[in-house]
Structure 1
Amino acid sequence: MSSNSDSSKGKESSVDEKREGAVHSTAGETDPVDIPSSSNRPSNNNFEGAGAVGSSTSEDEGSSKRQRTTSSSLPSFVSASPPGFVTLEEIMKAANSVSKMALAHDIAVDEDFQLEKVDLPSNSIQKKMKEICHQAFWDVLKEELESDPPSYERALILLEEIRDWLLSLLLPHQTKTQQEIKDNIDIDLIRQQIIAGSLDMHSYSQYIVSLMARLCAPGRDDKIRELTGLRDLIPLYKGIFETLELMRIDMANFTIRMSRPHIAACSVEYERLKFDDYLKITPDGLRNTREWLLRNQEAPNSPSATSSSPSSSSTSITAHSVSSTLISAFMDLLKWDDKYPWPETMAMDEARFSELRNKLKSVEVTSSILLVSLSQNIGPLQSSVDFRISLKEHIAVVLGSAKTDQELESVMPNVASQVVQDISKALKSQHSTDLADEAAQLIVSQIIDLRHSDNRVRLIIHSRLMEFLRQVISSEVARPTQIPAGLSLFKTEIAGIAGRFARLVSHNRAVFAEHYANILKDYGNVSQ
């Protein structure tokens, strides 16, 4: 069957991903992971007519802050400048720009991005209203077809819409199939057949289903076979509509995949332009971003802030200091304190960073459990790679989605029991000495103690992970980066996290570098 239906109409706001964050790990305890440089920048091609906007990537800066003063009679969140006014049209335009920017961004940074059918909650009013309206249409259509003489008012609407949907599934070069559809579902001819009383809905349904079989993706074959077995017109045409809706989503995702290389080259300029549209109607639209950067700004006298430019004045910050501030700020997103508002420039990636934090926590906890379990005297099992992998998988299953200290407290006894059971079973299978009761009790107590985030083992693992990720986004050139000691069994998970993190950081810096530089200039003279 043809897989044409993987597709969609071209998206006005296509964008594409950068390969900066791609991470490929190699084997071994201290095996290096290839991390492309996080400082790479995409080309400055235009996107949707947007002119090229210069990217400020040279971030020389001074080493002391210059505090901004505002009127003491105003609250801190009120701008000291005169109030501005925006029209509803400007607000709607900006909202539309942000929506397009979000779509462009999602495609650019998420290599697995795809459109999905929206399933409304089963008990929601929206879902019930949608079902009522749709059912009303099919009920009326059934009444019209069963009336004497039959009425084809809605049947004509139905066939015309199906024809348009089928045409939307085709690529521009498929002109022959386009003409075939127009000839076989000729609306003028259908009107004449209605007048003559000779319209055969079954004949049209057979052609439509056969054409869908040629156009659909292999994943829709079962649905097509189901449609070919239907004889009742209403369920048949209802099934045709539902399947066409899925095929249109397939086509949209196909188009996104095919357009991704072009999207990657244009997304940075496009996002920058749309974000500037948002800032035009938003008073102090970078307030949270400013607070986030300044919280992570290095102290003027810190070694890293002063060592790279000994000749700079005391009132300037060096380019190295600016880079260090940004790196610290991005690392801060991986240990975010919810008492602070999320930065505006990271708004579209808030969920992605939450997911990264959860994945980091999972690696931290699972590896800590594995470490304390294997630190006991369990004979040949300590060096058995197969046993380590099996134990790791069992630990992950029992842990499930537990992340918080409270969740871990409830699940850790089960994890400890599973670990002791696995060790005992493995020792018996190798005819080794049984696990001593004291050793089993020690394993249980140490695992249960890992429920606390300040556990010494967890702190060590956490520190190694964070240092590894800092190295990844600090690298000026693409180079292999070693997996942290003791974590080679988790190199796939760590490489995935690092690649995603580096891609998000690189893309964000490319889009918002100028805004970040301007914010830091306001609080210290950036040397040029």
Structure 2
Amino acid sequence: MSQNPDKLHSSEEKLSGSEDGQEENSDNPDQSVRKRIRQSAPGSHRDDTHKSSSSRPVSIEELMETAKGVTNMALAHEIVVNGDFQIKPAELPEHSLEKKVRDIVHKAFWDCLEAQLKEDPPTYDHAIKLLGEIKENLLSFLLPGHTRLRNQITEVLDLDLIKQEAENGALDISKLVRFIIGMMGTLCAPARDEDIKKLNDIHEIVPLFRAIFSVLDLMKMDMANFAVSSIRPKLMQQSAEYERKKFQEFLEKQPNSLDLVTKWLQEAADDLAKLRHETLPPHSNDGATGGASTLCFTAVQNQAYLKLLKWDHVNRPFPETVLMDQTRFLEIQLELEQLLLVGTVLLVTFSAAGPALVDVPGFAEKIKTIVKVLLTGTHLPSFNLKESLATIGEKVCAEVNSYLSQHGFTPFSAERETVLKGQIQAVANPDNTICRLIDSRIQKLLENYLASSHQKTLPPILGGLGPIQRELEEVAAKYVRLVNYNKMVFSPYYDAVLGKILTKEEPQLVGKPEES
């Protein structure tokens, strides 16, 4: 067992993107929104797990093996999908029982070490064990070609020799510590140079030992993150096959693990059938060619992925095959909801301001910044949309009048200001005509992106979405990458499920003529 209490929890590392560790930046509302989205995202646990009569009893061993397989699959998926993936140290809640127990154990250990070193003559039992752990850590950082460094560490930190020196009263701890700090400086990443310098400013042995182990833990995380970045290209080549294999193993142990997927795809097929029934003329044989079945598979899948952007994450479990990406789909969903509000307010404002003012350099971006900042946090329960829109109305009117005056136009009258403020506040109504128009065009844009995901040219931006074009393109690109990777992994399962669903659907969906 490790003798260093600071290492008791060194293996408790949470897996997250680097953006999770960044502080909220008030100058960058998008960044703070993403951070709060991840903090407030619902977990992947499903209290209302779908039950099936086909399920069979499983043993504890099978459950443990399945859980391990799912964990490995989730880890590989996270590394591939999240370009900012990093291993970070776990931080226990400030007043948690676990943190209190850990602090008590650590304090007792270091107090014991200090008491041993203050004895006359000093006792070095604990100190020698710590030196042994430090030696192991330093050796673990070496590559096979680091023969000279390996020999130096082995020679200077020879525990047998150190024990003999301690027994004869000739042990110089300070000399060993200076060597350790120097070797850490040689092996650490440039980002740790400042931490190494701080070690030289600590002169008491016990605090210095504690600081050394803290920096060693950081160096181990640096090494792990470097390894992750190194294997990512190779992992990307094999991850789809690996995830499919792991999911198949999970499916064999839990045969009902596609129930939610089946329901999800069935709803998408029903939506598409209803839409085509409403838009196609009666007795139309459109799509009755031999390629219709393939077209329908793709169309239903795309419709299903669009449904994920309108998902009720609180009351409805997520489909099994997209469960690992639930937080990402939720983040995209909330970003789109915010962009919907921003786009609607901007369209209303620019229509009222007129084309002459919209073309003034800096005006459109200034208004957009104001609106985006005041609509930050729309997903939070404490957010009051009506109050925010009222504030936006006041600030937008003030900004519009300022620009009108600066460029020789007549400022808004009190009546026009009242009308514009009323139009902006009306955006809070879900049935607002302009809001629904912008929403439908955003959905159509995403549908076009999915349909042209393998083409080099991007779909044209639709009317009314110009003010938020850049943001929409960023979200759409992220969304399409997520969808395409999911298709790459799970398309065989989707094809099997859709093969059963589409044979039962109306002829206009399947592409077969109706039988008399």
Residue matched to 2:286: 307
Report the counterpart of residue 509 of structure 1 in structure 2. 487
Q: CA deviation at 1:229?
A: 1.0
**Structure 1 position 383, deviation (Å):** 0.9
Of 211, 214, 239, the match for 1:239:
211
Matched, 1:358 2:334: yes
TM-score w.r.t. the length of structure 1 is 0.78
Q: Is residue 378–residue 423 contact of structure 1 (8 Å, CA) maintained in 2?
A: no
| Change over 3 Å in CA distance of 1:484–1:241 after alignment to 2 | farther
Contact 2:353 2:400 in 1 (8 A): no
Residue in 1 that maps onto 2:309: 334
Tell me which residue corresponds to 2:56.
84
Which structure's residues are more often helix, by fraction? Answer: 2
Cα shift at 1:425 = 3.1
Which position in structure 2 is the counterpart of 1:103?
Answer: 75
Q: After superposition, what is the alpha-carbon deviation per residue over 1:175-230, rounded to whole angstroms, capped at 9, x for unaligned?
A: 43333333332223222222222222222222222222233333333322222211
Do the aligned residues in 2 keep the contact of 1:114 with 1:253 (CA within 8 Å)? Answer: yes
One-letter identity of the residue aligned with 1:93: E
1:183 alignment counterpart: 155
- Spell out, residue by residue over 1:220-243, the C-alpha distance to the aligned partner (whole angstroms, 9 max, x if none): 333222222111122222112112
- CA distance in 2: counterparts of 1:167 and 1:416, whole angstroms: 63
The letter for the 2-side match of 1:456 is T
* Structure having greater relative contact order (Cα 8 Å, sep ≥ 6): 1
Shift of 1:512: 1.1
1:212 maps to 184
1:197 aligned partner: 169
Gaps of 5+ in 2: 1-48, 505-509, 511-516
Q: Return the match for 1:425 from 395, 399, 402.
A: 402
User: Does 2:267 match 1:295?
Assistant: yes
Match of 1:277 among 230, 249, 258: 249
Query: Which amino acid in structure 2 is aligned with residue 361 of structure 1?
Result: E
Range 356-365 or range 473-482, more displaced: 473-482
Gap regions ≥5 residues in structure 1: 1-75
Deviation at 1:524, TM superposition (A): 4.4
Greater shift, 206-215 or 366-375, is seen at 206-215
In structure 1, how many angstroms separate the alpha carbons of the residues matched to 2:499 and 2:344?
A: 43
Given residue 281 of structure 1, which amino acid in structure 2 is its aligned partner?
Answer: K
Question: Is the CA contact (8 Å cut-off) linking 1:365 and 1:458 kept in structure 2?
Answer: yes
Distance in 2, matches of 1:168 and 1:491, equals 50
Deviation at 1:351, TM superposition (A): 0.6
2:28 aligned partner: none
SS at match of 1:450: helix
SS at match of 1:523: helix
The answer for the alignment partner of 2:434 in structure 1 is 457
* SS across alignment from 1:342: coil
Aligned residues: 448
For the Cα contact (< 8 Å) 2:346–2:467, is it kept in 1? no
Once residues 122 and 216 of structure 1 are traced to their aligned partners in structure 2, the CA distance between those partners, rounded to angstroms, is: 30
Counterpart of 2:110 in structure 1 is: 138
Cα distance 1:491–1:128, how it changes in 2: closer, same or farther (>3 A)? Answer: farther
Partner of 1:11: none
Select 1:497's aligned residue among 468, 475, 482.
Answer: 475
Q: Aligned residue for 2:195?
A: 223
Percent identity between matched residues is: 32
Contact 2:310 2:333 in 1 (8 A): yes
**Alignment-derived partner of residue 435 in structure 1:** 412
How well do the aligned residues superpose, as a CA RMSD in angstroms? 2.7
Report the AA paired with residue 201 of structure 2.
G
Q: Give 3-state SS (helix, strand or coil) of 1:114's partner.
A: strand
Q: CA deviation at 1:292?
A: 0.8
CA distance in 1 between counterparts of 2:189 and 2:401 reads 49
